[in-house]
Amino acid sequence: MGGAQSTSTEALPFDVIDLTPTTVVAYRQPATPDRPATTTSSLSPAQRLTVAPGDSLKVRVFERYGGNIFPTIQGQSADLGIQRVNEDGTIKVPVVGIVQVSGLDLNQIERKIIQQLGHQVQEPEVIVEFDAPRTHTVSVAGDVKSPGRVSMLEDVRTVVDAINKAGGPLASASGSANQLQVAVRRQGQVILTAQYADLLAGSDIAVQKGDEIIVRPNARMFTVLGAVQKSGNVEMTKHNLSLLEALGYVGGLSDVRANKTGVYVFRMGDIETNPTARGRVFRLDLFQPVSIFVAQQFGLQARDVIYVTNAPLYEYDKILTSIYKTFSIISVAKGSTSITSSF
């Protein structure tokens, strides 16, 4: 690392950054306070959803007075049956005739039927409802309890609504919402890829008919190596994790082995998707008291590697211990030889 710092960083595939109260500002973990999803419409699904070929509509017509052709609303049922929307976007309503409904919402269809009735009925009342909104569904697949199609008419407006309607994440996968990834595909294009925890925190988006939602495991982990109490891969069980918390997860630095000035974080960043990107190596000197506060502010990311170097004296100690053991073996061997010669 000393050689890296004395060399021009342009010749290296990474940048070396000393973590100080000044430099850590750019690498703080952003807060994710709960916030309302601004993309979710406040209108009801019946006002928003439009009719398309393949849908089935339930049409009822009443007369306010008289009931000459249709019954009054207080009288018998005025149900004209289930009207399936044809491929040309029309339905055929008794007395009314053929009505073009494709692309219209329910309120617009009601007004259109009233308009087509004209003077045949005095002050008609029309009620149109979805019977089977086949085109107004979203698909939920992956690690959910009941994968399949979910109707948007069942108060499903957002991605989280759809996942909940599908039974929620599987018990085996829902140990931590931070370990699940949600992808939303719309018209063949992936429009969202996010952690399930981010959606719950307020990044939820509104769904549209035909959306495909996939819930899949995405374990977010970091790796700790070197002079720590317990090295290995560690699962990130919370969204915002600091470097200090990460070291606490593995029991902290080894008092005997660790070099307090040699705590490093290796970060690939987006080097896989962006070939021109540079990796980063962050160095923290824990001998400085202020470094504790710096470690609290530095946000760890998934796939980061924390490496704690051995103290130089520990390395010397290993060499001296090896030499001592070697001389001990030789001394024991000589002693055995002299005893044998005396006999």
Give me 129's structure tokens. 């409802």
How many angstroms separate the CA atoms of 89 and 201, rounded?
40
Kindly give the pairing relationship between strand 90-93 and strand 279-284.
unpaired
User: How many other CB atoms are found less than 10 A from the CB of residue 94?
Assistant: 12
Domains contained in the chain, CATH given: 55-132 (3.30.1950.10), 137-217 (3.10.560.10), 220-310 (3.10.560.10)
294 or 333, greater pLDDT? 294
What span, in angstroms and rounded, lies between the C-alpha atoms of 326 and 324? Answer: 5
Mean pLDDT, the chain, as a whole number? 78
Q: How many CA atoms within 13 Å lie on the side-chain side of 197? A: 19
Euclidean distance between CA atoms 211 and 137, whole angstroms: 8
pLDDT value of position 212: 92
User: How high is the pLDDT of residue 77?
Assistant: 58
Q: What is the pLDDT of residues 114-170, one digit of tens each?
A: 888 877 777 788 888 887 667 778 899 988 898 988 888 777 889 999 999 888 888
pLDDT at position 339 over 80: no
Q: How far apart are CA 153 and CA 50, in angstroms?
A: 12
Buried b (16+ CB within 10 A) or exposed e, 5-18: eeeeeeeeebebbe
> What confidence tier does 1 reach under pLDDT thresholds 50, 70, 90?
low
pLDDT in tens, 56-83: 888 888 777 665 666 555 555 567 778 8
Contact 137, 149 (CB under 8 A): yes
